[in-house]
Amino acid sequence: MSNKISEAYKILSKELYAQNIRFRLVPIERIKDLKKTFSHTLEHEIDCPEFVEFIKYINWFGALNSFPEAKSILVASVYNPAGKVVFQKQDKDIEVVIPQGFIKFYPKQRVLQTIITDILHSLGYRNERILLHIKLLAVQSGLAEYGKNNITYVEGFGSSHFLGSFITDMPANDDFWREPKIMDACENCDLCRLNCPTGAISEDRFLIHGEKCITLYNENPGEFPEWIESKWHHAVVGCMKCQSVCPCNAADYVDVPILETFTVSETDILLNETEFEQLPQALKDKFAQFGFPEIHSLLLRNIKVICM
C-alpha cells in the first residue's frame, strides 16, 4: 500500500470513528465472492419462493455501470438504537416499539452519505451509493457478525445500527474477507430462538424461516395470516422479540427512550381511520418525523392490531 493511500485511510478512519461510524473498505473484486455466497444461499437455503422472486427483480450492483473506476466498496455501520411511541387510551397507555431500522432511516442515510462524500472528496476520491447484499457484505468484510437470529451485530453497537454501502475509487487498504460468521456469544445461547413467538428461528439450520417471521407480514400490505396471534404484534412495524432479549444488546433495552406520545384523542383518530392520507396534518407530521414514508400506508393497520 502506498504512503498516500495509507495516509488517506488513516484520515478516513479517524474521521468516521469520531462520528461513531464503523466501516470496512473491501477490494471491488470481492463483489464476485459476495455474489457467489448470495447465489448459493438463494438456491440452496431459502425455501420461500415469493422472497426469491422478489430478490431477483432488484437491480443489485447497478451503480457499478456508472462508476467503472471504482476500486473498493465502503460498508459502514451507524449506531441507531430502537425507540418507542406511546398510544394513550382512556384506561391505559400502550407502549409500542419502533425498531432501529425505522428511526430516521432515510434522513440518517443521507447524513451518512454526506459525511462519507465530504471526507472522500477532501482526500481526492469520489463515491456513489450502491445497492447490494449489505448484511452479507458487512459480515464477510469483517465489519459485523451474524447472530443466531440472522441479524448483524457490530462490536460496540450490538444490533442497534444500520448499514450503508458505497463504491469509491479509493483503493482498499487491506482485505479481511472471510466466510460468513456467527457470533461466539451464540454458541451457548438460545434466547432469541426461545423468545421468537412464531418459531421462525430453528435449531436445525442457520437461516431463519422467513415465511414465519412477523416482519415479512407487517412490512407488507394485506391481511395478517390467521396463524399470527394478535398478542405477538408489539412493534409499529417489524419485530424486536429476538433482539430485545439478546445479551449482546442488553444495554440498549434497559431503558428504551419514548420518542413520541399520541394523546387519547389522537389515538382515537388513528384507530378509527383507515387511510393514512386522511389523517389530520398534525398527526401525519408526528409520523413523518421518523423519516420512513414507505411504511405510512401500513401504520394504521399495524397500530390497530396492537391497540384495539
Among 214, 237, 270, 279, binds ligand SF4 (CB under 6 A): 214
In angstroms, the CA 274 to CA 66 distance is: 42
**Residue number of the CB atom closest to ligand SF4:** 147
Spatial separation of the C-alpha atoms in residues 159 and 100, rounded to whole Å: 9
Beta strands across the sheet bearing 127-129 = 21-27, 72-79, 161-168, 127-129
Question: Do residues 180 and 36 lie in contact, with contact meaning Cβ atoms separated by under 8 Å?
Answer: no
Q: How far is the CB of 245 from ligand SF4 (least distance, A)?
A: 6
Q: Which 3 state secondary structure label does DSSP give 182?
A: strand
235 belongs to the binding site for ligand SF4 (CB under 6 A): no
239 binds ligand SF4 (CB under 6 A): yes
| Distance in Å, CB of 124 to ligand SF4, minimum | 41
| Window 129-148: residues binding ligand SF4 (CB under 6 A) | 147-148
Query: Which is closer to ligand SF4, CB of 120 or CB of 201?
Result: 201
Joined together, the cell numbers standing for residue 61 give: 450492483
Of 107, 124, 225, 247, the one binding ligand SF4 by CB under 6 A: 247
Site for ligand SF4 contains 34 (CB under 6 A): no
Cell, residue 273: 381511520
279, three cell numbers:
389523517
Q: Kindly state the greatest CA–CA separation across the chain.
A: 67
Residues 86, 219: Cα–Cα separation, whole Å: 20
From 8-16, 83-91, 121-129, 234-242, span contacting ligand SF4 (CB under 6 A): 234-242
Site string for ligand SF4, 169-208 (x = CB under 6 A): --------------x-xx--xxxx---x-x-xx------x
Q: Are 160 and 246 in contact (CB under 8 A)?
A: no
* Rounded-to-integer distance, Cα 61 and Cα 75, Å: 14
CB of 98 to ligand SF4, least distance (A): 14
Does 48 contact ligand SF4 by CB under 6 A? no
User: Which one, 83 or 147, has the nearer CB to ligand SF4?
Assistant: 147
If binding is defined by CB under 6 A, does position 149 make contact with ligand SF4?
yes
Helix, strand or coil, per DSSP, at residue 211: helix
Q: Shortest approach of ligand SF4 to residue 209 CB, angstroms?
A: 8
Whose Cβ is closer to ligand SF4: residue 30's or residue 193's?
A: 193
Distance, in Å, from the CA atom of 198 to the CA atom of 159, rounded to the nearest integer, reads 21
| Length of the chain, in residues | 308
Per CB under 6 A, residues contacting ligand SF4 are: 147-149, 183, 185-186, 189-192, 196, 198, 200-201, 208, 213-215, 239, 241-242, 245-248
